[in-house]
Copies of this chain bind each other. A is one copy, B any other.
Amino acid sequence: MASAVVLLSGGLDSATALAIAQSEGFDVFAISFRYGQRHKIELESARRVAERMRVLKHIVVDIDLRQFGGSALTDEIAVPKGRTVSAMAEGVPITYVPARNTVFLSFALAWSETLGSKDIFLGVNALDYSGYPDCRPEFIEAYERMANLATKAGIEGGQRLKLHTPLINFTKAQIIARGAELGVDYSMTSSCYDPSATGAPCGSCDSCLLRQKGFAELKRLDPLVERFKAA
């Protein structure tokens, strides 16, 4: 059985990408990052998702992106609240973390090379995305091209490395619908950029609003919100 490395943030998108990787027959190695994010409670979600979805191994890599600053997710900068979806689409938001996906993918690449995996999955999304440069298809294509020159396989030949982005052209509603079909329990996931200490979503950051819009379009309740209501 072929194995794949999956970038797992603990959010809705990456849990769905993981389920899709498994549905395509891959044994999954999941990788998460403790990078100085203010919403580090997402790592608890990542752990739950990895456990429940029976991945082969889950590692959490420590990297300190705070030393570079420049983002509301790692710095003492306020997370924007209550923005409309069209406002989110204007320019690169302050929640963008400089070169984050480039950094994450470089570790996934290192791991896949030592595992002998030729497949990396990530849940990036270019449709309901929030203006992040490193979620665009042209970035992914350029990264894949670079990665195929970066490693031993690039000299010795053999099977090419492939970056899988199964959600890149999905709306948030389509992502949720696909994950639900595959049995993803979204009550385990965590999307909020500014959650409470217990992990309750703020309900008004860009990420919460996009998630709400997705569930609303499907006329479903978000099991995460229901879980906190019940608590």
Contact = CB atoms under 8 A, between A and B. Distances in A.
Nearest to A148: B142
Contact of A99 (B64, B98, B106, B145): B106
**Interface size classification for chain A:** 35 or more
B114 A133 contact: no
A98 B154 CA distance: 12
Given A139-B149, A150-B101, A110 B65 contact: yes
B99 A109 contact: yes
Interface of A: 59, 61-65, 67-70, 91-92, 96, 98-103, 105-107, 109-111, 113-114, 131, 133-134, 136, 138-139, 142-143, 145-147, 149-152, 154-156
Q: What is the oligomeric copy number?
A: 2
A111 B151 contact: no
A190 B121 CA distance: 39
A214 B92 CA distance: 48
A186 B142 CA distance: 37
B146 A92 contact: no
Nearest to A115: B68
A133 B145 contact: no
A114 B152 CA distance: 31
B62 A64 contact: yes
Nearest to A62: B64
Nearest to A139: B149
B102 A110 contact: yes
Contacts of A109: 98-99, 102
19 contacts: A59-B67, A63-B63, A68-B110, A68-B113, A68-B114, A96-B152, A98-B152, A102-B106, A102-B147, A103-B103, A103-B107, A103-B110, A133-B151, A133-B154, A136-B149, A139-B149, A139-B154, A142-B145, A142-B150
